[in-house]
Amino acid sequence: MNGEIHESNLFSPRVSKDSSMPINVLAFAGSPRRHGNSETLLDWVLASMGDDPDVAIEKIALTDANINPCRGCNACEKLNKCVQRDGMDIVHDKIIAADCILISSPIFCLGLCAQVKALVDRAQVFRSRKYVLKLPVVPPERKGKRLGVFLATAGQKWDYVFDAAVPSIKCFFHVTEVRDADISYLMINGVDEKGAIESHPTAQSDAQKLGKTVIAELKKRLAA
Amino acid sequence: MAVTVLGISGSPHRHGNTETLLDSFLDGARAAGASVEKVVLRDLDYKPCMGCNACHKTGECIVHDDAITLFDKILAADCIAVASPIYSMGITAELKGLIDRGQYLWAQKFILKKLYFSNNHIRKHKGLFISTAGLSWDNVFDGAFPTITAFFNGTGFEYYDNIIANRMDEYRGIKNHPTALKESFEKGGTVVRVLEKLKAEPGAEK
């Protein structure tokens, strides 16, 4: 099973592996363009994570995931769930179950693409659970044992091109009980045309390194 | 000809804080004699940008839906007021979905080089960003500004002003804010008077 990535359109079960200590990795490929630069970057990280036989990976392409924007109705503050019935119903449980959550996004107009922003905004249900209803998002023993990864690519070369996207990603991880210090970032600017990231000098090796580092850290924390 | 003002409400929540602040701006513009229209994004039917880059070749979007009709209105307006609450430190997914769809204009400008906004055009087209946030943090709007800047650049508008109010949770709504609604009304009148003067300049383009 090494290196295998199971891609789900939300209707197939998680890959289960014969292991005493499976590490559940949940990855959101946020770009509407399939297999472009940001998703390639994600695939590199996932392939490197998947080298470890204890790792079970599920990748969800947000463009196919049917996650609507938040309606701003605040009903989740009372109901502890969203009133919308869509792809988020399934994603919600997967977010809670994951040991590591990765989100990849291209930068469009200096921000997250709309598909990723919709996912981030729909995490409002976790915010309501945590801060309004004062209920646990994950069991207490799993706090501090969840890691987050944000991967982004941008066509522009400006070094500030990711600045507006990061705070929204921090919000998502904050309400899903991934601590700020437990988010890793790999953001590559100056890649625009499909495949441009392939000729980037460091992106692939940095992605592979990141995958290994995150899994090693998770194993340490889960064993503790 | 009257100054045309287009308000775009990016909140999914009808008649909430942000839309009320926008309404106040539009009331001010109307009182100053402008021709005013408001568009509510949640009532429109459009998809987010699919990132297909077909527009890089043709300058046109292959998806024909309400987003394109709205961009036609935006390009025809003298003033646009774009309103969104802050969700998770950024604009709403609805508004981001619309802004991303402006990629075909970017392609017309920078790839096909068939769209060009002169400095004179830009100074006669004013864009305002209207926003509210529940949190009290001073930096709560910072994630929105760059995207709004990109939007105004892409559509040929000068980023003229912000009308923003945080601490909505604390105030329990915009109606209890000491200054925001009045400020918004006044700014609506001011920008219309500024644009009237600019439009009256002799021999100038629209």
User: With contacts defined as CB-CB under 8 Å, which chain A residues touch B144?
Assistant: 164
The confidence score (pLDDT) of residue B203 equals 61
pLDDT-based confidence at A6, cuts 50/70/90? low
The confidence score (pLDDT) of residue A76 equals 98
Instruction: Decide if A168 and B89 are in contact by the 8 Å CB cutoff.
Output: yes
State the fold for domain A6-223.
Rossmann fold (3.40.50)
| Residue A10 region by backbone torsions, left for phi larger than 0, else alpha for psi between -120 and 50, else beta | left
DSSP type of residue A19: -
- Say which of B12, B93, B144 has its CB closest to residue A114: B93
Average pLDDT of chain B to the nearest whole number:
96
DSSP type of residue B12: S
Residue ranges per structural domain of chain A: 6-223
- Cα pseudo-dihedral B90, A155, B108, B1, rounded to 10: 30
Confirm if B164 and B10 have CB atoms less than 8 A apart. Answer: no
A149 vs B202, more confident: A149
The confidence score (pLDDT) of residue A10 equals 46
Q: Which of A87, A88, A91, A106 is nearest to A31 (CA)?
A: A106
Instruction: Decide if B87 and A70 are in contact by the 8 Å CB cutoff.
Output: yes
CA distance B88 to chain A (A): 5
Q: Which of A126, A221, A133 is nearest to A176 (CA)?
A: A126
What's the CATH number where B109 sits?
3.40.50.360
User: With contacts defined as CB-CB under 8 Å, which chain A residues touch B89?
Assistant: 167-168, 170-171
* Chain B interface test: which of A34, A68, A76, A109 (most B C-beta within 10 Å): A109
CA distances to A103, B177, B204 from A60, rounded to whole Å, are: 10, 42, 53
User: With contacts defined as CB-CB under 8 Å, which chain A residues touch B90?
Assistant: 111-112, 117, 120, 164-165, 167-168
Q: Determine the distance from the C-alpha atom of residue A33 to the mean position of all C-alpha atoms in its chain, rounded to a whole number.
A: 17
Residue range B32-42, pLDDT digits in tens: 999 999 999 99
pLDDT-based confidence at B138, cuts 50/70/90? confident
Q: For residues A202 and A218, what is the distance between their CA atoms, to the nearest angstrom?
A: 24
Instruction: Decide if B87 and A121 are in contact by the 8 Å CB cutoff.
Output: yes
pLDDT-based confidence at B1, cuts 50/70/90? confident
Residue A83 has pLDDT above 60, yes or no: yes
Q: Given strand B4-9, what is the order of strands in its sheet?
A: B35-40, B4-9, B79-83, B126-132, B158-165
Mean pLDDT of A131-156: 96
* Chain A interface test: which of B18, B42, B55, B87 (most A C-beta within 10 Å): B87
What count of CB pairs under 8 Å joins A to B? 117
The confidence score (pLDDT) of residue A224 equals 83
Q: Which of B152, B188, B203, B185 is nearest to B3 (CA)?
A: B188
Q: For residues A84 and A78, what is the distance between their CA atoms, to the nearest angstrom?
A: 14
Check CB contact of A113 with chain B, cutoff 8 Å: yes
Q: Which domain holds residue B86?
A: 4-199
The phi and psi torsions of B7 (rounded to 5 degrees) equal -100, 135
Instruction: Decide if B92 and A69 are in contact by the 8 Å CB cutoff.
Output: yes
The confidence score (pLDDT) of residue A16 equals 44
Indicate the number of domains in chain B: 1
Kind of pairing between the strands at B35-40 and A6-8: unpaired
CA distance B19 to chain A (A): 13
Kind of pairing between the strands at A100-108 and A111-112: antiparallel
For residue B69, tell me if it sits in a domain: yes
Q: What percent of chain B has pLDDT over 70?
A: 98
Residue A15 has pLDDT above 70, yes or no: no
The pair of three-digit structure tokens given for residue A125, joined into one six-digit string: 């249900």
Q: What percent of chain A has pLDDT over 90?
A: 88
Check CB contact of A172 with chain B, cutoff 8 Å: yes
Instruction: Decide if A108 and B91 are in contact by the 8 Å CB cutoff.
Output: no
The confidence score (pLDDT) of residue A2 equals 44
- Say which of B88, B99, B146 has its CB closest to residue A163: B146
CA distance A171 to chain B (A): 6
A112 vs A1, more confident: A112
Residue range B8-48, pLDDT digits in tens: 999 999 999 999 999 999 999 999 999 999 999 999 999 99
DSSP type of residue A131: I
What's the longest Cα–Cα distance across chain A? 50
Check CB contact of A83 with chain B, cutoff 8 Å: no
DSSP type of residue B54: T
Q: How many helices (H) and strands (E) does chain A have?
A: 7, 7
Average pLDDT of chain A to the nearest whole number:
92
Instruction: Decide if B88 and A110 are in contact by the 8 Å CB cutoff.
Output: no
Q: Which residue of A has its CA nearest to B48?
A: A114
Beta strands in chain B (DSSP E): 4-9, 35-40, 79-83, 126-132, 158-165
What's the longest Cα–Cα distance across chain B? 51
Runs of H (alpha helix) within chain B: 17-31, 55-58, 66-76, 93-100, 103-106, 119-123, 145-155, 168-171, 180-199
Binding-site residues on chain B for chain A (CB distance < 8 A)? 11-13, 16, 48-53, 85, 87-94, 96-97, 99-100, 102-103, 139, 142-147, 149-151, 154
Residue range B84-116, pLDDT digits in tens: 999 999 999 999 999 999 999 999 999 999 999
Instruction: Decide if A71 and B13 are in contact by the 8 Å CB cutoff.
Output: yes
Instruction: Decide if A110 and B146 are in contact by the 8 Å CB cutoff.
Output: yes
Enclosing H/E stretch for B154: helix B145-155
For residue B206, tell me if it sits in a domain: no
Window from A18-22, A32-36, A61-65 with minimum mean pLDDT = A18-22
Q: For residues B141 and B80, what is the distance between their CA atoms, to the nearest angstrom?
A: 19
Enclosing H/E stretch for A91: helix A88-97
- Say which of B53, B143, B147 has its CB closest to residue A109: B147
The confidence score (pLDDT) of residue A7 equals 62
